[in-house]
Amino acid sequence: MVEMRKPIPVDEAVRAVMEHASSTGIETVKLDEAYGRVLAEPIIAKHDVPPFDRSPYDGFAIRSVDSAGASGNNRVPFSVIGEIGAGQVAQKPIGEKEAYRIMTGAQLPEDADTVVMFEQTTELDGGFTIRKPFEAGENVSFKGEDAKEGELLIEAGSLIHPGTVALLATFGYAQLTVGKRPVAGILSTGTELLDVADELVPGKIRNSNGPMIEAQLKRMGIECRSYGMAADELDTCTAIVEQALSEVDFIITTGGVSVGDYDYLPAIYERLGATVLFNKVAMRPGSVTTVAVLNGKLLFGLSGNPSACFTGFELFVRPAILKMMGCNAPYMPKMSAVLWEDFTKPNPFTRFIRATWEFRDGKVIALPAGFNKSNAVSSIARGNCLIVLPSGTRGYEKGAVVDLLLIGSETGVQEWTV
Ligand SMILES: Nc1nc2c(c(=O)[nH]1)N[C@H]1C(S)=C(S)[C@@H](COP(=O)(O)OP(=O)(O)OC[C@H]3O[C@@H](n4cnc5c(N)ncnc54)[C@H](O)[C@@H]3O)O[C@H]1N2
Ligand code: MOO
Ligand SMILES: [Mg+2]
């Protein structure tokens, strides 16, 4: 008799996975390897930024007192006593009505407290005149205005993006500690599977899930070990999964998790003694998504159906990986949008629809990506988000406001429910 499975809500399933996603540890990397990693230490300003008062313009550094009373009718002359390019420092202090030519980014000479842009002067031989007074501090980029020594700038647990790299470089982090990346193992199960280079033969299809998952991992910078494809044979698949468990931090299998005669993942978990966290989720696609855990390692049993497989990765595998790396905001960001076409099917389970969000007619709209079934492959190639239609809702009409989950976003959120 077929096994009856009890679906659990998506949020509950995500929580169960996250409870078992534990840190892979930390390691030290060079700055040029830091992009895409997670900070294992906070970035605290090691010194003021900028580290000295500097000129934000190309112009002349003067003492503001000397500009008092300047006007169109009373142009005040200055004599230029030297030039300071960025990286150079003034050799002597400036005296009354004296100025340095100074370039953007150069340290202000002692006593100078303002900068006059070239455009605000009339140049003369050996000097220039100005036609307005300047206040102390006008046109100065102050020491510490960007960051103060000791200030907490970025918390540990943040994903390192190019801007973070700039900040790390500013403070001289030639190396830093980051969360270790877990190593993933992937196995595509299915007797019907052909390799990408194979010609189609009756009854068979090419393996698209394996390459897709590898790309989803690559997008996160995660290294994977591919265990290729395996026919639906219990002994063979069990042996591969067992082998993989000894070599990687977590395993993703695709296919074989439903109740069919050749769906062997449930039996494999049982043989290996893995604890199944859930084997039915109140979602579509991906209701058969199964996650098990053995010796602290997660085994993600994603559905064989391509749309379900894709969605299962983004909803369950991705946040778990980020948590293993120590990330404090592992969930896809959410946004609201106006649904741009009718979606008439009722939603007994929470539905995730591959879609594109864009800005149109003054609002953010969401356009479903086409053929919307769990076994669809064409629509997963389109779109930049998932529309979320909560369980227990009926059809939606064009114009309804719906939630979106953003796919491929660099930054995430700390808490999340769908
Ligand atoms: N009696 C029931 N049948 C099914 C149920 C159910 O509840 N009761 N659930 C359906 C749902 S929902 C889904 S989703 C699928 C899940 O199937 P499996 O995860 O067991 O996957 P397979 O049976 O191995 O394959 C399903 C489908 O996907 C194709 N596939 C598999 N691997 C790949 C791959 N690597 N690349 C591309 N396509 C792949 C496979 O050929 C099948 O067409 O079960 C329903 N059935
Ligand atoms: O498990 Mo499914 O809901 O058709 O993808
Ligand atoms: Mg099946």
Give pLDDT, residue 18: 98
Give pLDDT, residue 154: 98
Of ligand 2's atoms, which has the minimum distance to the CA of residue 288? Answer: 1
Give pLDDT, residue 3: 82
- Taking a C-beta distance cutoff of 8 angstroms, is the pair 177, 27 a contact? yes
Of ligand 2's atoms, which has the minimum distance to the CA of residue 258? Answer: 1
Question: Could you tell me where in the chain the CATH 2.170.190.11 domains are found?
Answer: 59-130
Count each helix (H run) and each strand (E run) in the chain, helices first: 7, 24
Ligand in closest contact with the CA of 283: 2
Residues with CB under 6 A from ligand 2: 284-288, 303, 305, 308, 374
**Residues 14-28 pLDDT 10s:** 999 999 999 999 999
CA of 320 to the centre of ligand 2 (A): 21
279 lines ligand 1 (CB under 6 A): no
CA-closest candidate to residue 44, choices 151, 148, 169: 151
Mean pLDDT, rounded, for 325-343: 97
- Report the SS3 class of residue 309: helix
Q: How far apart are CA 200 and CA 163, in angstroms?
A: 47
Give whole-number Cα distances, 2 to 63, 257, 287, 310, in Å: 88, 13, 16, 26
Which long-range contacts link 72-75 to residues 24+ away (Cβ below 8 Å)? 72/131, 75/122, 75/129, 75/130, 75/131
231 lines ligand 1 (CB under 6 A): no
Question: Could you tell me where in the chain the CATH 2.40.340.10 domains are found?
Answer: 334-406
CA-closest candidate to residue 17, choices 254, 252, 267: 252
Q: What CATH number was assigned to the domain covering residues 59-130? A: 2.170.190.11
Give Cβ neighbours of residue 79 (< 8 Å, ≥ 6 apart): 97, 98, 99, 126, 127
Q: How far apart are CA 27 and CA 179, in angstroms?
A: 6
Percent of the chain surpassing pLDDT 90? 97
**Residues 336-374 pLDDT 10s:** 999 999 999 999 999 999 999 999 999 999 999 998 889
CA of 408 to the centre of ligand 3 (A): 28
In this predicted complex, what is the ipTM?
0.98
CATH topology of domain 10-25+180-324: Molybdenum Cofactor Biosythetic Enzyme; Chain A (3.40.980)
Q: How far apart are CA 316 and CA 28, in angstroms?
A: 28
**Residues 222-239 pLDDT 10s:** 999 999 999 999 999 999
Domain 334-406 in CATH 2.40.340.10? yes
Give whole-number Cα distances, 40 to 27, 102, 158, 180, in Å: 8, 41, 8, 9
**Residues 106-126 pLDDT 10s:** 999 999 999 999 999 999 999
Beta carbons within 10 angstroms of residue 335's beta carbon: 15
